[in-house]
A and B are shown apart, each in its own frame.
Chain A
Amino acid sequence: EAGVTQSPTHLIKTRGQQATLRCSPISGHTSVYWYQQALGLGLQFLLWYDEGEERNRGNFPPRFSGRQFPNYSSELNVNALELEDSALYLCASSLETGIPYNEQFFGPGTRLTVL
């Protein structure tokens, strides 16, 4: 069974540009979560999508946004990039919400570098 996939692996942008990151969940999983892991910091929750809807977002500015498509894949958009947005962006998927103890499985991540 294929795991969570993310693209691209690496992304280099300059300040002010926009970045789009993509994620495909494990087959059968309907929930997608986005996390940011900046150097020296822990994983910080960004966004949670389930059944095409944004269910919750972390403490990040509105220039971080995304969506979930009918096939449950997702994309994360970061507008007006800043240097501190440089980080590893991780996508995780889980079975549908409502299962009390669903586990999240991570993709390999997208390394975003903002110059």
Chain B
Amino acid sequence: QKEVEQNSGPLSVPEGAIASLNCTYSDRVSQSFFWYRQYSGKSPELIMSIYSNGDKEDGRFTAQLNKASQYVSLLIRDSQPSDSATYLCAVRSGAGSYQLTFGKGTKLSVIP
């Protein structure tokens, strides 16, 4: 059973701070890792993807991947109230299956 684990939160950070979201996965052959943002009542929106160990930066977002530890994280710098949402970690196995396995999400609240 492939599992993706996230802290459900809520994670509260003050405006302007760094928000750190974490995710662990159980399937060692996983190849691709994604972070989605989901506002209440809306569908998930892709914000970052990462495939290689290390850091990947895109604007205020940085994804970090450590395959040896089976760990992926998302940092949000200069957090804004508009970042308040549920962040979903998703993992795709490399074993010929292209569907995503999702964590249950971490709810982030950015306090003005």
Residues of A whose CB lies within 8 Å of any CB of B are: 31, 33, 35, 41-45, 48, 50, 55-56, 58, 88, 90, 92, 94, 97, 100-109
Contact = CB atoms under 8 A, between A and B. Distances in A.
Nearest to B32: A101
Contacts of B69: none
Contacts, number: 61
B99 A108 contact: no
5 contacts: A43-B90, A56-B99, A97-B98, A100-B32, A101-B31
Interface of B: 31-32, 34, 36, 42-46, 49, 51, 88, 90, 94, 97-105
Contacts of A33: 98-100
A106 B44 contact: yes
Given A100-B31, A101-B31, A101-B32, A45 B99 contact: yes
